[in-house]
Amino acid sequence: MSLVSDVKGLWHLPGFRRLTYARLLSQGGDGMFQVGIAAAFFFDPTTAATPEAIAAGFAILLAPFTIVGPFVGPLIDRWQRQRILLVGNLIRLALVVLICVALAANWPTWTLYVLALLALSVNRFLLAAMTAGLPRIVPADDLLAANSVLPTLGTIAAAIGGALGGIVTFFAPGASDVGLAFTALLSAAVAFGLASWAATLIGRTDLGPEHPLEKLQLGAQVKALSRELADGVRYLYARRTPFHALGVMSAQRLLYGMLFVASILISRHALGDPDRPEQALGAFTIVLAFAAVGFGLAAVLTPTIGARVERQTWILICLGIGALAQLILVVSVEPWALLTSAVIVSFAVQGAKIAVDTIVQRDTSDDYRGRAFTLYDMAFNVAFIGSAVVAGLTLPDSGYSRTVMGVVMVLYVMVGLIYARAPRTPRPVPAPSSA
């Protein structure tokens, strides 16, 4: 089925419709928030002028978030998830206002990082709550389609939100980097407020949990989760196909992250004027808009093509498409090359991700599926942090190196060759002794 037909099939479910409204508004706000953070951290003429500084920024923002993220499970099993969506978005709105105050008052940079980290951590909490509540509002037969549709729509909403967050900055011509950040961040605050309102359309108990825990016992939960994650790694490795799918996803995310960091620097130094943040941010916004086109095309075309080829074969095709995108940047760093590459590589990344999601869902036992996607989330973020670190060590201040782009292209091919040798069928693994 295609994305459009999946959405049509699920749209008659009131709970799915209302949760979709909340997710689109929430992730659309995420995109605007990220543009605001980029304006404050990465397009300030006095800071973040080097790849190393940008790498440090990504590491500070994402590393603690990645470590804490897996441990939100005990909380979403204790609190009403509809209330998590309602209150969580209100908390993000308040954090955005605090960030604006910090920028206006010229608070120390570390306070901005702390506030941004809190906002990103709350986002992880919200996404986990929405995922956990989905089986309560979607029949079991439709759950696979819903698991594919909602993340894809959310990714598109985030990309569109990022593009809109950049577009609204054009209404403040000649503004400073702080003014640009204000414009995007306040737009995000509006989206978060609307997402809270959308959460009120969902019944308080509709998303569960059915039996909230009376006592959290967080320490015991953390120890148990650590053991379960280790057990999950062993299971995925023994099962083979989901383990290799997560591996190829991580590798592709790392390579994509290299281009993402390069795009920030190229937008700042090659496409824009480093001393004019509104021009540099505008250039980066255009790159994000073209990337959104690639994500959208992948969401529409992947289900159609996937019905004709195996999931693993489609991943290999996407890796080849990613190598083609890098080849364009080896040839030229002109705006047409960067924008064309943004469309193509985003298509390749999202297309492969959809296939990886399906493989992990299809080939992982229900007893391990939650842990599999927790590990998926961790690997996804760690790969992006790794890409920022590698970019910081290899890219020049301008963001463009023909040699680095050529190496990334070769790595796409190498990842494809390695994955081509991976098994196509999962290995039988005994059911866990304790369910």
Give the integer Cα–Cα distance in Å for 94 and 84.
15
Most confident of 18-27, 161-170, 366-375: 18-27
- What value does the mean pLDDT take over residues 104-111? 83
Output 415 or 284, whichever has higher pLDDT: 415
pTM for this predicted structure: 0.73
Indicate if the pLDDT at residue 381 is higher than 90: no
Cβ-based neighbours of 377, under 8 Å, separated by 6 or more: 69, 70, 124
**Structure confidence at residue 201 (pLDDT):** 95
Calculated CA dihedral for residues 367, 368, 374, 377, nearest 10 degrees: -130
Nearest to 27 by CA among 96, 89, 98: 89
State the pLDDT at residue 96.
93
Q: How far is it, in rounded angstroms, from Cα 169 to Cα 36? A: 10
281 by Cβ neighbours in 10 Å (0-12 / 13-18 / 19+) ranks as: buried
Mean pLDDT in the chain?
A: 81
Mean pLDDT of 156-181: 69
Torsion of CA 373, 377, 379, 380, to 10 degrees: 130
Where do we find the tokens 């549709």? 149
Mean pLDDT of 223-237: 80
Instruction: Give the domain ranges of the chain.
Output: 1-209, 220-426
Find the helix or strand (DSSP H, E) in which 153 lies: helix 143-167
Mean pLDDT of 16-23: 94
pLDDT of residue 393: 85
Cα–Cα distance, 300 to 305 (Å, whole number): 9
Contacts of 216 (CB under 8 A, 6+ apart): 74, 75, 78
Residue-wise pLDDT tens digits, 52-77? 666 666 666 666 656 666 666 556 76
pLDDT at 164: 80
Nearest CA to 13 out of 130, 146, 200 is that of: 146
Residue 175 has pLDDT above 70, yes or no: no
- CA angle 252–257–258, rounded 5-degree value: 100
CA distance 236 to 234: 6
Q: How much is the pLDDT for 31? A: 87
Q: Which fold has domain 220-426?
A: Growth Hormone; Chain: A; (1.20.1250)
Residue 88, pLDDT above cutoff 80: yes
Tens digit of each residue's pLDDT (9 = 90 or more) over 319-335: 999 999 999 999 998 88
Residues whose CB falls within 8 Å of the CB of residue 142, separated by 6 or more in sequence, listed in order: 9, 10, 13
Cα separation, 261 vs 55, in Å, equals: 8
* Cα 66–Cα 68–Cα 71 angle in degrees, nearest 5: 120
pLDDT at residue 172 greater than cutoff 60: no
Identical topology for domains 1-209 and 220-426: yes
Identity (one letter) of the amino acid at 237?
Y
Sequence-separated (6 or more) residues with CB below 8 Å from residue 112: 40, 41, 99, 102, 103
152 Cβ contact list (under 8 Å, min separation 6): 3, 299, 350, 354
216: pLDDT strictly greater than 70: no
Q: Is the pLDDT of residue 434 over 50?
A: no
Contact (CB, 8 A) for 309 and 317: yes
Phi, psi (deg, nearest 5) at residue 105? -90, 0
pLDDT category of residue 10 using cuts at 50, 70 and 90: confident
| Nearest residue to 168 (alpha-carbon basis) of 148, 184, 192, 149 | 184
Q: Residue 78 in contact with residue 131, Cβ under 8 Å?
A: no
User: Smallest Cα–Cα separation from 93: which of 11, 4, 188?
Assistant: 188
CA nearest neighbour of 426 among 351, 374, 361, 380: 361
Instruction: Measure the CA–CA gap between 319 and 413, rounded to whole angstroms.
Output: 7
Q: Does domain 1-209 have CATH number 1.10.150.120?
A: no
pLDDT digits (tens, 9 = 90+) for 339-360: 999 999 999 998 898 888 878 8
Taking the C-alpha atoms of residue 123 and residue 96, their distance in angstroms, rounded to an integer, is 13
The more confident residue out of 372 and 29 is 29
Burial of 166 from C-beta contacts in 10 A (0-12 / 13-18 / 19+): buried
pLDDT for res 318: 95
Mean pLDDT of 280-299: 80
Q: Is the peptide bond before 209 cis (omega within 30 degrees of 0)?
A: yes
CB 266 within 8 A of CB 282: no
Q: Is the pLDDT of residue 406 over 90?
A: yes
Backbone φ and ψ for 397, nearest 5 degrees, come out as -60, -30
Contacts of 301 (CB under 8 A, 6+ apart): 347, 351
What pLDDT digit, counting tens, does each position of 259-277 carry?
988 888 888 776 666 566 5
Residue 140: Cβ-neighbour burial (10 angstroms; 0-12, 13-18, 19+): exposed
Question: Which token pair is 63?
Answer: 């590393």
Lowest mean pLDDT of 27-36, 69-78, 136-145, 386-395, name the range.
Answer: 69-78
Q: Can you list the alpha helix ranges (DSSP code H) found in 168-217?
A: 177-199
Return the pLDDT at 67: 65
Residue 277, pLDDT score: 58
Write down the pLDDT at residue 193: 96
- Shortest CA distance to 345 belongs to which of 230, 407, 253? 253
